[in-house]
Structure 1
Amino acid sequence: MKKRYAAGLALALVGILSGCGQAKTQPADNTISITPVERKTNGPQMDMAVKYDFAGNHADVNGMEFRRYIWDGSAWENEGGTFTVNLDKVEENEGTIRFQPESDVLNAEYIVIIDAQTPESGNSIQFAESPALSGLPTEWLTSAVAMQEEKIDDLALDVEIPLLVRTFRTDGTQVLVAIDAFTDPENSAAVKYSSYAEAYTVKFVKNDNL
């Protein structure tokens, strides 16, 4: 990422930095930090629980909007609308977002559990059951799950990001999926050639009606 300068200038810069140290970058105010807690391995996903910690950076936020998308063969379609969770004021508060399968079957639906250090703590939501998901044959069924791998320090308000992408195949083969499959599905073999694929997103908002 850094440009290459003349050797003398580079050595002088190194000397200055070694003497005073490099300042750490601070997250911008009025943003959210999201940290993946339970990271998935690049293997078959049997334990599909996914968890994130979040915290406000002086954020004027009072809610989260969750959406579930289903891959229709050519695009992600929002299924079930939007669930809005009232968080009162996030500001400096911390919390967790957890995606927990409702049972131990591979194609179980997710329950989204939100726990925040606010008066409105302990919310949970569940989207309507998808017939396409529950109707998958289970004998040769495989699944792959992806989540954000790196911490996001400065997520802006009203910006939607994926927190989970899940794909299924019914031929017994395994194709790994990446979280980027939500924003760039055309370059994801796991999505394009899946028997079923879904994604869950979140957006932190300031809503005067909450």
Structure 2
Amino acid sequence: MKKRHAALAALALVGILSGCGQAETQPADNTISITPVEQKTNGSQIDKSVKYEFSGNHADANGIEIQRYEWDGSAWNKDDYGLFTVNSEKVGESSGIIQFDPETDAVNAEYNINIQSDDFGGSMQFADSSKLSGLPTEWLTSAVAMREEKIDDLAVDIEIPLLVRTFRTDGTQVLVVIDAFADPENSAAVKHSSYAEAYTVKFVKNDNL
């Protein structure tokens, strides 16, 4: 009997440990999951969209902010007119998509930004940069990076990059990675670009809504 009790106790312990392992892979409460759907890394960005799916896990969020940045040669600066927002009390309990679609097939096409959810509707907005549209197009090349790994535990009010895009006007191409936003000094693609832009996302709790 003692051996049987010991065996049952061992099985119970295995079950507990297995349960703990499974729990660690689940999103924590009050966080957001972000999953890349269409990946376009290590190449040019001409006519393919970049898409993410998001899902709230009882997150205390009522808004989504997409911020556009421009590289000034030494730092990323927020575009004064590049903050795009969607507000809804249902954000933290909802799922949906965040998608970037080039407006045309031109190399330097602006992105249309589409945020949609069956739970709260959504919004489509577009960027408008005179610097980007003013680039000479004859020898223009671009490279784009997006996140490759799913994030299960994005906290509310934490900003992360979703897309980095660089341009060169000499016909050559230097590949870019998503880490170039956080660490531009180690990115040849950004440092030696003719123009570079980035888009970030932040799920927010706005007490004034």
Give the TM-score category using the shorter length.
0.7 to 0.9
Contact kept, 8 Å, 2:163 with 2:200, in 1: the verdict is yes
Q: Conserved in 2, the CA contact under 8 Å of 1:65 and 1:84?
A: yes
**Shift of the alpha carbon at 1:66?**
1.4
1:14-29 alignment to 2 at 5 Å?
21=18, 23-24=21-22, 25=24, 26-29=26-29
**Which structure 1 segments of 5+ residues have no match?**
1-15
Structure (1 or 2) with the larger CA radius of gyration: 2
The residue identity in structure 2 corresponding to 1:202 is: V
Q: Deviation of residue 126 (structure 1)?
A: 1.7
Aligned CA distance change for structure 1 residues 170 and 159 (closer, same or farther; 3 Å)? same
Give the structure 1 partner of residue 91 of structure 2.
Answer: 90
What is the distance in 1 between the residues matched to 2:28 and 2:137? 46
Is residue 130 of structure 2 the alignment partner of residue 126 of structure 1?
no
Instruction: Name the one with the larger helix percent.
Output: 2
Is the 1:165–1:181 contact (alpha carbons within 8 Å) kept by the matching residues of 2?
Answer: yes
Shift of 1:49: 1.2
Query: Which residue does the alignment assign to 2:158?
Result: 159
Q: Deviations over 1:67-102 (max 9, x none)?
A: 110000000010125222113222332100000111
Q: What is the TM-score normalised by the length of structure 2?
A: 0.86
SS at 1:112 equivalent: strand
1:55 aligns with 2:55: yes
8 Å Cα contact 1:87/1:116 also seen in 2: no
How far off is 1:17 after superposition?
6.5
Residues 112-159 of structure 1 show CA distances to partners (whole Å, capped at 9, x for unaligned) of 10011223x1311223x2111111111111100100110000000000
Q: What CA deviation, in whole Å up to 9, does each residue of 1:138-197 have, x standing for no partner?
A: 111110010011000000000011111000001111100000000000000000000000
Kept in 1: contact 2:97–2:117 (CA 8 A): yes
Query: In structure 1, how many angstroms separate the alpha carbons of the residues matched to 2:95 and 2:47?
Result: 25
Q: Is the 8 A contact 1:88 1:118 kept in 2?
A: no
Question: Is the Cα contact below 8 Å between 1:60 and 1:89 reproduced in 2?
Answer: no
The 8 Å contact of residues 69 and 82 in structure 2, kept in 1 or not, is answered as no
Q: Which runs of 5+ in 2 are unaligned?
A: 1-12
Maintained 8 Å contact 1:177/1:190 = yes
Conserved? CA contact 2:137–2:169, under 8 Å: yes
- In structure 1, the residue matched to 2:137 is 138
Per the alignment, in what secondary structure is the counterpart of residue 74 of structure 1? Answer: coil
* Identity across the alignment (%): 69
The 8 Å contact of residues 71 and 197 in structure 1, kept in 2 or not, is answered as: yes
CA distance in 2, matches of 1:122, 1:84: 10
Letter in 2 for 1:105: A
Give RMSD over aligned pairs: 1.9
Determine the C-alpha separation between the residues in 2 that align with 1:179 and 1:33. Answer: 18
What is the count of residue pairs matched by the alignment? Answer: 193
Give me the whole-angstrom Cα distance separating, in 2, the residues matched to 1:125 and 1:81.
10
The residue that corresponds to 1:66 in the other structure is 66
Residue 123 of structure 1 aligns with an amino acid whose one-letter code is S
Report the secondary structure of 1:132's partner residue: helix
